[in-house]
Amino acid sequence: DAMVIQNPRYQVTQFGKPVTLSCSQTLNHNVMYWYQQKSSQAPKLLFHYYDKDFNNEADTPDNFQSRRPNTSFCFLDIRSPGLGDAAMYLCATSRDTSGGVTQYFGPGTRLTVL
Amino acid sequence: GQNIDQPTEMTATEGAIVQINCTYQTSGFNGLFWYQQHAGEAPTFLSYNVLDGLEEKGRFSSFLSRSKGYSYLLLKELQMKDSASYLCAVMDSNYQLIWGAGTKLIIKP
């Protein structure tokens, strides 16, 4: 059974056209993360929510926003996608943020910007 | 700065053993994770080490030396399905995961 679900799996958008990626989880985890991963690179943390508390990484561009309306769902909004935003976007969850807690990943959304 | 180093690519033969190394320099240490990532898919959890020594889990084992800032992932009896990238990630003093770029493992028959 899928535990972290991402939709869509593939998303094509045009330069500058807003796009929203969604993530849902059935694990009832407190923490939800959004990562950006480009080919052959490490995943880059954009931000995370601990419950309703939003934690933005210092180097995440303002073009990226997130919403978490409830425990199960989290959204990534890219307000004006540029060509450099083409990447795999990974959603992950964890029970909390203490040592040793595993992050569980969804299948990812591959974003193409035309 | 914080840094995780892994080889970019390794090649091994089906049925053999391969060791993937990871060295790290981070602000604090709260454990080291290994994840497997098949092409175009999400990372899946393999192992976690927080104390020095070897953790064995089936065909996969992971080793940690905190004093050396070093870990390795050992894969035995390699199968074609083990062809994937293997990512090393360290949890720092802020409980954030610092990720390596991954090692692409190619298995040949």
pLDDT of residue A101: 87
pLDDT of residue A109: 96
CB contact under 8 A, A40 and B101: yes
Cβ contacts of A44 on chain B, cutoff 8 Å: 99
pLDDT digits (tens, 9 = 90+) for B13-39: 999 999 999 999 999 999 999 999 998
Residue with the bigger pLDDT between B57 and B74: it is B74
> What does the DSSP 8-state code read for residue A42?
-
- pLDDT category of residue B67 using cuts at 50, 70 and 90: very high
Query: Does residue A21 belong to the interface with chain B, where contact is any CB pair within 8 Å?
Result: no
- pLDDT category of residue A2 using cuts at 50, 70 and 90: low
Helix (H) or strand (E) holding A22: strand A19-25
pLDDT digits (tens, 9 = 90+) for A27-42: 999 999 999 999 889 9
Task: Give the residue from B70, B102, B31, B63 showing the smallest Cα distance to A94.
Answer: B31
- pLDDT > 70: percent of chain A: 98
Given a cut of 90, is residue B96 above it in pLDDT?
no
- pLDDT category of residue A1 using cuts at 50, 70 and 90: low
Candidate from B4, B8, B42 with C-beta closest to A105:
B42
The residue behind tokens 């990562």 is: A35
State the Cα–Cα distance between residues B50 and A100, nearest whole angstrom: 8
pLDDT of residue A40: 85
Two structure tokens written together for B80: 């074609």
Pick the residue of A97, A109, A110 with the most B CBs within 10 A to test the interface with B by mutation. A97
pLDDT digits (tens, 9 = 90+) for A52-85: 999 999 899 999 999 999 999 999 999 999 999 9
- Report the gap between the CA of A99 and the closest CA in chain B (Å): 5
Task: Give the residue from A58, A62, A92, A60 showing the smallest Cα distance to A74.
Answer: A92
